[in-house]
Structure 1
Amino acid sequence: MLRGGGPRRGARSREEFGFEYDRTAEERGSEEEAERELRERRGRVERRVEPLSEESHGRFDEQWGEVERVFVDNPERSIEMADRTVSDVLAERNFVSDAGQSDEETEQSLAVMHPDVADDYREARRIRAEVVGRSAGGADEGPDEESTEELRQAIRKYRAVYEKLVH
């Protein structure tokens, strides 16, 4: 039984933080430590995260529209644009605390505020890195059918994150 609230508290935290709770508990070796860390992290992130201005909403919606238009002819370029757009939104909303912040810290900040899309973000970035890495080592041909499907999945995942952060 966990101190300070017992199993019910752990269940509430698991519901509140989603898969991030289990991931952190496994890393820390304790549900109590995971809960403490996630609550502290959420407090830090909540103090600095800001909503987007109407102007920013419009600008990012235009950027996202371009991401989707480009996908038809150039899915690899589109995935890079999607990653950049989501990264720009994260930075503008202050999920990125400084230029030296690691990708993992950005993912953790997103996870405590929006656990429902944190895994989408991680998976989209993983797919992007994998497909871009393969194409960098290959010929100058476009992506194959399998890569295009992976990129389509990544775009969907980036879209879920984008929608959560912007709308």
Structure 2
Amino acid sequence: MDNETIAAWRAAGERGDAAAAGRCLSPDVEMISPLTAAFRFRGPAQVTTVLTAAFEVIHDIRYHTVLGADDTWSLFYHGRAGTDALEEAQLLRLDGAGLIREITFFGRPLPALTQVMAGIGPRLLRRQGQPGLARLVGLATGPLNAMTHSGERTIMPRAKPRDR
């Protein structure tokens, strides 16, 4: 890997440093979330705010695979959301100046994603000065988070493939 922006992005992620990650962003950056198709985050300020909230929820990030060249890169890491193991893939597209102009996130498994959603949404809304909506989103995401964790602990072990 010899791209300075990608190296800086990776190092910022592993440190949980949203400000350093924000310095890798193009002025017209767009972030596509794995959690909603209802809207996208645009501009360095919005994306850095999301990253700040994300690094409060996601920790122990360690990139294990970086692929790409020129203006298109894919990065993969293992991390944790609370006590849940998380794996995320990132598709990054760079602008002519070599800064990140588009970020698309993909994550797994579902219990970790619901943990991320339950953690990031309320934090973002409080930062936007919407504490009432933050409480509502917290209440709305709580049952989904509880259901996915319960299913992972109680139902999914029963669905495990069996040797014949």
Shorter-normalised TM range: under 0.3
**Structure with more relative contact order (C-alpha pairs < 8 Å, separation 6 or more):** 1
Normalised by the length of structure 1, the TM-score is 0.26
Normalised by the length of structure 2, the TM-score is 0.26
Higher strand proportion: 2
Larger Rg: 1
Higher helix proportion: 1
